Amino acid sequence: MLTSMFETAIRERCRLFEIDITPHTLQWPDEPMEHGYAVEGMDGLKEYMGNADQIVGMTGDAEMLVTQLAPLSAAMMDRLPNLKFVAVSRGGPVNIDMKAARERGILVVNTPGRNASAVAEFTIGAILAETRNITRGHDAMRAGIYRGDLYRADIAGQELSEMTVGLIGYGEVGRRVVKFLKAFGCRILVSDPYVQLSADDLNDGVIQCSLERVLADSDVVSLHPRVTAETTKMINAETLAQMKKGSYFINTARGPLVNYDDLYEALATNHLRGAMLETFDVEPVPPDNRFLKLPNVTLTPHIAGASVKTVSYAAGLAAEEVRRYLAGEPALNRC
């Protein structure tokens, strides 16, 4: 999320206003994010980058802050009396104490769906990499082994056109994944108790059903909900046991959605044929993580949302919110 792209977008969108922009660059993603539960005074915040003194010093007496990862705790807000507007270029303001912001009259906006297209594309790649043995073939070739046995019918993967793919979650990402999956001709099931299928998806034969049916009927289960109290560790021993023996599990969403001890057992005992994991319960993943040694997993370092379009789109959304604030217009995506 290049600072320069955000500054360019803001200056272009807000050219009718005189604004003074002070750019600062934090070290993510070259350095890992921090977590509020691990740092005194940052309770209630989740992922963020930068310590309190650093961010307060950067922000100074500014009225507006545009950021992706900078933390804003209640104590920090008390040290920033001029701050009135915060644009968080993420799908959710997990680095902001929203209760404290409301109490202090600070408007917080976000950029929903900023990386939905990127994550949806990545999910299709994740499904193919795992179900068609692309990962296995790649790992073997790197090790100097030519695995012709991957052509054997009892090892080769099925085509998507003959599989049922189940999605848990039908938000911005889930809807795009459904759209892409239609081109492969697979049967598509969706579970989301809070969202109804679009008319196009209904007409195209997409089936909305219970979580239990998605788990029981799907050859591939792909995870796409937000992390809430209800969805935390929703993939666990009980739900994994409901999945078909020999099916695949795909997580391009969030680590806290999964009980990784239970998932490991399902993979190690071959109840699941394979999994593609893009997010984990601990990030960065420690070098002794058990999943690194499993032969039936594809692993990536939380990069599904990484695309140039993600940055440019988020910058545009944030810039429009800045313009609307300066013009006295209501926010589009008030948190």
Catalytic residues: 254, 283, 302
Give me the amino acid identity at 73. S
Q: Would you state the structure tokens that stand for residue 158, as one six-digit string?
A: 């099925």
What is d(CA 274, CA 267) in angstroms, rounded to the nearest whole number?
A: 7
Q: Which residues contact 8 (CB under 8 A, 6 or more apart)?
A: 315
Cα 220 to Cα 110: distance, rounded to the nearest angstrom: 32
Q: How far is CA 39 from CA 2, 32, 74, 212, 256, in A?
A: 26, 14, 14, 38, 19
Q: For the residues of 112-175, what is the DSSP string, one character each?
A: TTTTHHHHHHHHHHHHHHHHTTHHHHHHHHHTT---GGGGSTTTSPPPGGGSEEEEE--SHHHH
Q: Is the separation of the CB atoms in 273 and 218 below 8 Å?
A: no
In the block, which residue shows the tokens 């029981």? 216
Give Rg (Cα) of the chain. 22
Kindly list the distances between the CA atom of residue 126 and the CA atoms of 132, 243, 248, 277, 292, in Å, as whole numbers in the listed order: 10, 19, 11, 8, 17
For residue 186, with 0-12 CB atoms within 10 Å meaning exposed, 13-18 middle and 19 or more buried, which class applies? buried
